Amino acid sequence: MDVIKGLDAGNSSARLQAALAAGTRADPALAGALVARCAVEPDFFVRDMLTWALTRLPAEVTVPLLRAELGGARAQARSQALHTLSKIADRSVWPAITGALLHDTDDEVARAAWRTAAGLVPDEQRADLAGELVTELGRGDRSVRQSLSRALIDLGDVTETALGPALHDDDPAIAAHARATLRLLRDPDAGFDLAADEATRIVALDHVDR
């Protein structure tokens, strides 16, 4: 099978098969084509297979190619590169997770950056990262907020201190998100929806009483 041709096929099933073949073959020569396809592939399942194929290749081949995508103009290239780097889990990537990525205007890029950063951050920089992430509280829809809460929870105890000022923020969305995250930090089994709804009620009552 000509994998490179298959990756550009018009049919998503053909592209999926090509990505599977690339991962099975695990030929480092295919790394460039796989990374390039990640930037433009419209199908979620194909993108997921592309990531799997890249994780099958040597990190010394894939990581430099993926890092180069982080500064690209195409949002999907940045988000997919971050997603793949999170799966490879090479801690040498940490310095490449910049503030620009953590605060990217594209929600999917930011979500991928939060997840990747939380997984790769050195222990001594966890508090700094938590402080950086809490500035994104209240952003986006429920799925975006859930992603941020998960990343903050992954950072552990340093998150509780970082959340402190936001618990009484004048913006109800920020305060509610902070409270929901704190609830989940203390009780991971609570579930995000339950924690978010409860936090919203508490914050609403708090603002009424002011």
pLDDT given for residue 208 in this prediction: 52
CA-nearest of 201, 182, 202, 207 to 192 is 182
Q: Is residue 131 within 8 Å of residue 153, measured between CB atoms? A: no
Q: How far apart are CA 106 and CA 111, in angstroms?
A: 9
Q: How many CB atoms lie within 10 A of CB 1?
A: 12
pLDDT given for residue 82 in this prediction: 98
Q: Is residue 112 within 8 Å of residue 79, measured between CB atoms? A: yes
pTM of the model: 0.90
Give the domain range for residue 141.
124-210
Which residue type occupies 204?
Answer: A
Q: How far apart are CA 144 and CA 159, in angstroms?
A: 18
Same domain, 10 and 68: yes
What does each of the 210 residues of the chain score in pLDDT, given as a tens digit?
699 999 999 999 999 999 999 999 999 999 999 999 999 999 999 999 999 999 999 999 999 999 999 999 999 999 999 999 999 999 999 999 999 999 999 999 999 999 999 999 999 999 999 999 999 999 999 999 999 999 999 999 999 999 999 999 999 999 999 999 999 999 887 777 777 777 777 777 665 555
Question: Where among 76, 101, 120 does a domain terminate?
Answer: 120
Q: Is residue 7 within 8 Å of residue 19, measured between CB atoms? A: yes
The residue written with tokens 């907020």 in the block is 145
Same domain, 109 and 132: no
Same domain, 130 and 157: yes
Same domain, 131 and 200: yes
pLDDT given for residue 189 in this prediction: 79
Same domain, 31 and 51: yes
Cα four-point dihedral sign 11, 57, 68, 90: positive
pLDDT given for residue 183 in this prediction: 92
Cα four-point dihedral sign 55, 15, 20, 13: positive
pLDDT given for residue 1 in this prediction: 67
Q: How far apart are CA 3 and CA 53, in angstroms?
A: 12
Question: Where among 120, 148, 177 does a domain terminate?
Answer: 120
Q: How far apart are CA 133 and CA 110, in angstroms?
A: 10
pLDDT given for residue 37 in this prediction: 97
Same domain, 97 and 175: no
Same domain, 88 and 175: no
pLDDT given for residue 133 in this prediction: 98
CA-nearest of 178, 180, 176, 185 to 206 is 176
Residue 130's Cβ-side half-sphere holds a number of Cα atoms within 13 Å equal to: 26
pLDDT given for residue 198 in this prediction: 73
Query: Which CATH number characterizes residue 39's domain?
Result: 1.25.10.10
Q: What's the full length of the chain, in residues?
A: 210
Question: Where among 87, 120, 153 does a domain terminate?
Answer: 120
